């Protein structure tokens, strides 16, 4: 079994080689087959390697792992899968999985995979997310569901007792947690928000605040159509929260370290992120004193958090499709699911796993595997246009967060109105718009 980091220039050569190997292996014995697995999550590579070694030992089939960054992974899949030169098995979020389904590049699940997905092994909500037009496709692999990480040592130093329960309280706490040097330069942010980056993730993180505030990017009309749902008080309040954090209350700054790296290094006090950060802490800062709490509520409203799946998919053009589905089933067992979380930090999507040994060792996983009572989940829409909707909004948001003119409520409202109009336009272009 091998792992390859794909470079921009070598990707086509590797993909072509994979295609030749698959063609030769159509009628080959298991020991003569090599399955190519592509992932955009480097933290999953140790798990793939461990499970691949077990599979090779059991079946004889060789496993080749190709790993890139998430954005490169998505781009390479989009280029390679349609040409038949892509992987046999790949992982990707349902937000992109639906595009392969609609293009016929992922087939409906065979009976064994369909049966597993519909069994008690998975939550009903997971099975529904992987069902399109009455047929199931792929298998849920892991949850990309956020919670709030908080640095206990910072809180104790600031005289704060426990994590904030609301976003308003979070801002108050952040003011007490933020630190500056003698020149006024921020040296520790009170909270780390997603202020920049690439792709749809900026808008996804904007939803972490928008949804609790009572808004949403798109609203179903009950007839299979949708319209924007954030040109309203909630949308304006969510954007104002970011602008206040950066420009008014100054508890975050685009110039300081952000995201998991900042939390692991102790350079921010609060971070809304997924379970994989626990793996980063365990590896890089094992003595960090931290807790994990629900995403704060908005005022007296409920706690809300995103329900997002990353799935395993078999390439419909794989020349080793039976072996690919067999490997998919092998790495979706209960035992493999536990190892996935232990080795990567991500929480596996199976519902029938006993997490008590994990919680005994790392109690911070509790909010991810057994959420606080009353937490409401909002799912990611399963539609091909969703990625464009989030990506186009994400293009606009970073500039807004640092635009001083948006401190004017009228100009902030105009920004939200224009962004929401673009969302509706994308829905119209995809014949999905309806009120």
pLDDT in tens, 21-36: 444 434 458 888 999 9
Residue 150 confidence (pLDDT) above 50: yes
Of 5-9, 260-264, 348-352, 373-377, the one with minimum mean pLDDT is: 5-9
**Residue 81 and residue 315: Cα distance in Å, rounded?**
7
> What is the reported pLDDT for 21?
42
- In this prediction, residue 395 carries a pLDDT of 97
Q: Are the CB atoms for 51 and 330 separated by under 8 Å?
A: yes
> Domain locations in the chain?
2-145+309-367, 147-307+378-429
pLDDT band at 10 (very low <50, low <70, confident <90, very high): very low
Domains 2-145+309-367 and 147-307+378-429 share a fold: yes
CA angle 315, 92, 57 (to 5 degrees): 65
Among residues of the chain, what percentage have pLDDT more than 90?
A: 86
CATH topology for 147-307+378-429 is: D-Maltodextrin-Binding Protein; domain 2 (3.40.190)
Q: Are 308 and 92 in contact (CB under 8 A)?
A: no
Paired with 306 in beta bridges are 378
Q: What is the pLDDT of residues 47-70, one digit of tens each?
A: 999 999 999 999 999 999 999 988
Q: Which CATH class is domain 2-145+309-367?
A: alpha beta
Tokens of 118: 């519909």
What is the rounded average pLDDT for all residues in the chain? 92
Query: At 19, is the pLDDT very low, low, confident or very high (cuts 50, 70, 90)?
Result: very low
Tens digits of residue pLDDT in 311-339: 999 999 999 999 999 999 999 999 999 99
For 197-222, write each residue's pLDDT tens digit.
877 899 999 999 999 999 999 999 99
Q: What is the pLDDT of residue 26?
A: 42
DSSP 23-60: HHTTT--GGG-EEEEEES-GGGHHHHHHHHHHHHHHH-
In this predicted structure, what is the pLDDT of residue 22?
A: 42
Helices (H), 81-164: 94-102, 111-117, 124-129, 152-157
**Residue 289, pLDDT above cutoff 70:** yes
Per residue in 34-51, pLDDT tens?
999 999 999 999 999 999
Q: Is the pLDDT of residue 18 over 60?
A: no
Cα–Cα separations (whole angstroms), residue 193 to 97, 187, 232, 273: 27, 15, 22, 10
**Helix-then-strand count for the chain, H and E:** 18, 18
> Is the pLDDT assigned to residue 355 strictly greater than 90?
yes
Strands 34-39 and 62-67 come out as parallel
At 28 the pLDDT is 59
Q: pLDDT for 178-189, tens place per residue?
A: 999 999 999 999
Classify the C-alpha dihedral 40-6-324-81 as positive or negative. Answer: positive
pLDDT at position 23: 42
């Amino acid at each position: 079994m091998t792992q390859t980091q794909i470079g921009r220039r070598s990707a086509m050569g590797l993909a072509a080689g994979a295609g030749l190997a698959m063609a030769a292996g159509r009628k080959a014995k298991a020991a003569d087959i090599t399955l190519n697995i592509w992932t955009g999550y480097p933290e999953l590579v140790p798990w793939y390697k461990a499970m691949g070694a077990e599979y090779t030992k059991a079946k004889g089939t060789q496993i080749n792992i190709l790993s890139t960054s998430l954005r490169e992974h998505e781009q390479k899949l989009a280029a390679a899968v349609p040409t038949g030169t892509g992987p046999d098995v790949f992982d990707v979020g349902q937000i992109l999985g639906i595009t392969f389904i609609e293009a016929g590049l992922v087939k409906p699940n065979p009976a064994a995979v369909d049966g597993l997905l519909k069994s008690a092994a998975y939550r009903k909500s997971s099975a529904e997310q992987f069902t399109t037009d009455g047929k199931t496709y792929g298998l849920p692999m892991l949850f990309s569901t956020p919670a709030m990480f908080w640095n206990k040592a910072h809180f104790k130093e600031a005289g704060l007792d426990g994590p904030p329960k609301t976003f308003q309280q979070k801002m108050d706490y952040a003011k007490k947690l933020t630190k500056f040097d003698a020149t006024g330069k921020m040296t520790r942010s009170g909270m780390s928000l997603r202020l920049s980056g690439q792709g749809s993730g900026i808008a996804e993180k904007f939803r972490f605040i928008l949804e609790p505030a009572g808004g949403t990017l798109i609203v179903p009309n009950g007839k299979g159509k949708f319209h924007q749902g954030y040109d309203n008080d909630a949308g304006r309040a969510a954007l104002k929260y970011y602008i206040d954090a950066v420009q008014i209350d100054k508890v975050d700054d685009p110039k300081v370290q952000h995201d998991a790296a900042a939390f692991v290094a102790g350079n921010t006090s609060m971070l809304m992120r997924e379970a994989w950060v626990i793996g980063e802490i365990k590896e890089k800062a094992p003595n960090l004193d931290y807790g994990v709490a629900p995403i704060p509520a908005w005022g007296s409203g409920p706690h809300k958090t995103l329900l997002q799946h990353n799935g395993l998919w078999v390439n419909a053009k794989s020349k080793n499709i039976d072996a690919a589905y067999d490997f998919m089933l092998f790495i979706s067992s209960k035992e493999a699911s536990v190892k996935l979380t232990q080795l990567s930090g991500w929480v596996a999507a199976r519902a029938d796993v006993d997490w008590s040994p994990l919680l005994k060792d790392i109690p911070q996983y509790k909010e991810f595997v057994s959420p606080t009572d009353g937490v409401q989940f909002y799912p990611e829409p399963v539609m091909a246009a969703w990625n464009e909707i989030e990506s186009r909004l994400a293009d606009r948001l970073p500039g807004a967060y640092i635009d001083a003119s948006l401190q004017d409520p009228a100009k902030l409202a105009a920004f939200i109105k224009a962004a929401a109009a673009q969302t509706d336009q994308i829905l119209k272009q995809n014949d999905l718009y309806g009120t």
